[in-house]
Amino acid sequence: MLFNYEAIDKSGAKQTGSIDAVSREVAITSLQRRDLSITSVEAAVEDGKKFGLSMTLFESVSTKDVVLLSREIATLFEAQVGLGRRRLRRACSATTQHAAGAKC
């Protein structure tokens, strides 16, 4: 988690910044180890962007499509069929429909 802090260093100068820590307590401990007197530590507001990139994986995919895909993948796992094998069967059956008696 990212925390914004305000602190005062040994010389009395005000320091502001952000620190990445597991919890607020860990952030405070890390700042105290830097010989800072902490005046405030607040969790940073995350806007869904990291490194300037928008993380919108399923923004343009409907919920119905996500559910259908999830069910299909679950069925494949239950049947213990790999995607490569299934695609090979489809391709083989499509090409052998024209050739009588051919086996895949």
Amino acid at the residue 83: L
Give the SS3 label for residue 24.
helix
Long-range contacts formed by 55-62: CB under 8 A, 24+ apart? none
Q: What is the pTM of this model?
A: 0.45
Q: What is the pLDDT of residue 63?
A: 79
Q: What is the pLDDT of residues 22-53, one digit of tens each?
A: 999 999 999 999 999 999 999 987 655 555 55
pLDDT digits (tens, 9 = 90+) for 69-93: 888 878 877 887 665 655 656 655 6
Question: CA-to-CA distance for 40 and 4, rounded, in angstroms?
Answer: 8
pLDDT of residue 30: 93
Taking a C-beta distance cutoff of 8 angstroms, is the pair 2, 20 a contact? Answer: yes
Residue among 45, 5, 51, 50 at smallest CA distance from 24: 5
Q: Say what the pLDDT of residue 98 is.
A: 47
User: 52 versus 10: which is more confidently predicted?
Assistant: 10
CB distance 69 to 29 below 8 Å: no
